């Protein structure tokens, strides 16, 4: 086996560890917790399926690859829950170190390509990244909606928290944010997402 292929296969095997990183989101039907690999696969297929709703033309192959790569760093860094403000303080540093090690398993040309795609997704400034990040918001929202808002209830998520994250969906797709808003309003009305009046000192 040549050195390049050996590096590529080592990276491919390393990716298997993403299946062990559990997220806070549960599968439909009030199932078990979802893992990172399932989340990424679901996002990538959703991106292809929903590409017509992107605000701007996108390179769907790049978008799908961003979806598949964006949480690979959590093999080392662990999952950071969207509404865990304390954990988010160290998230960037943890994920930067993980990106260096994990993508560093690849031949240098592919390592540079994957690091750049990861950084582009993280920055969220290109049309491709904005649409990929919209999928990162929409996918868990759909699962949570299917489970009667169970994860929002479990973590006592508030209106300001959920909109603080979900409003960014509009940067990638105004149409998909309209759907997001309809879903959130149903759950707010049902009491699955806490109103600020009930939030007290637990913001």
pLDDT tens per residue across span 15-56: 999 999 999 999 999 999 999 999 999 999 999 999 999 999
Q: Which of 5-9, 110-114, 193-197 has the lowest mean pLDDT?
A: 193-197
Question: Can you give the pLDDT at residue 198?
Answer: 45
Query: How confident is the model over 164-179, as a mean pLDDT?
Result: 97
DSSP 54-99: -SS---HHHHHHHHHHTTTTHHHH----TT-HHHHTTHHHHHHHHH
Question: Can you give the pLDDT at residue 77?
Answer: 92
Quickly state the pLDDT bin for 90 (edges 50, 70, 90). confident
Q: Mean of the per-residue pLDDT values for the chain?
A: 93
Contact 127, 164 (CB under 8 A): no
Contact 137, 165 (CB under 8 A): yes
Q: pTM (2 decimals)?
A: 0.91
Distance CA 63, CA 131 (A): 7
Residue 199: CB atoms within 10 A of its CB come to: 14
Comparing CA positions, the residue from 144, 152, 141, 162 lying closest to residue 31 is 144
Set out the domains of the chain in order of their start, with CATH numbers. Answer: 3-198 (1.10.3210.10)
What sign does the dihedral 36-46-165-184 (CA atoms) show? negative
Query: How confident is the model over 101-129, as a mean pLDDT?
Result: 97
Contact 47, 63 (CB under 8 A): yes
Say yes or no to pLDDT of 201 above 70: no
Q: Which of 72-86, 147-161, 174-188 has the lowest mean pLDDT?
A: 72-86
């Amino acid at each position: 086996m040549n050195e390049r292929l050996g590096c590529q296969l080592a990276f491919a095997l390393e990716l298997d560890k993403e299946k062990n990183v559990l997220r806070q989101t549960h599968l439909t039907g009030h199932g078990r917790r979802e893992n990172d690999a399932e989340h990424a696969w679901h996002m990538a297929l959703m991106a292809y399926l929903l590409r017509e709703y992107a605000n701007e033309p996108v390179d769907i192959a790049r978008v799908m690859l961003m979806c598949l790569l964006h949480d690979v760093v959590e093999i080392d860094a662990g999952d950071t829950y969207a509404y865990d403000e304390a954990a988010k303080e160290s998230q960037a540093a943890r994920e930067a170190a993980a990106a260096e090690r994990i993508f560093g398993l690849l031949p240098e040309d592919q390592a540079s390509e994957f690091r750049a795609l990861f950084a582009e997704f993280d920055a969220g400034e290109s049309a491709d990244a904005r649409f990929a990040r919209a999928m990162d918001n929409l996918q868990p929202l759909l699962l949570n909606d299917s489970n009667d808002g169970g994860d929002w209830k479990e973590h006592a998520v508030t209106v300001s928290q959920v909109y603080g994250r979900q409003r960014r969906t509009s940067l990638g797709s105004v149409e998909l944010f309209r759907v997001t808003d309809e879903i959130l309003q149903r759950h707010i009305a049902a009491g699955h997402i806490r109103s600020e009046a009930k939030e007290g000192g637990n913001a």
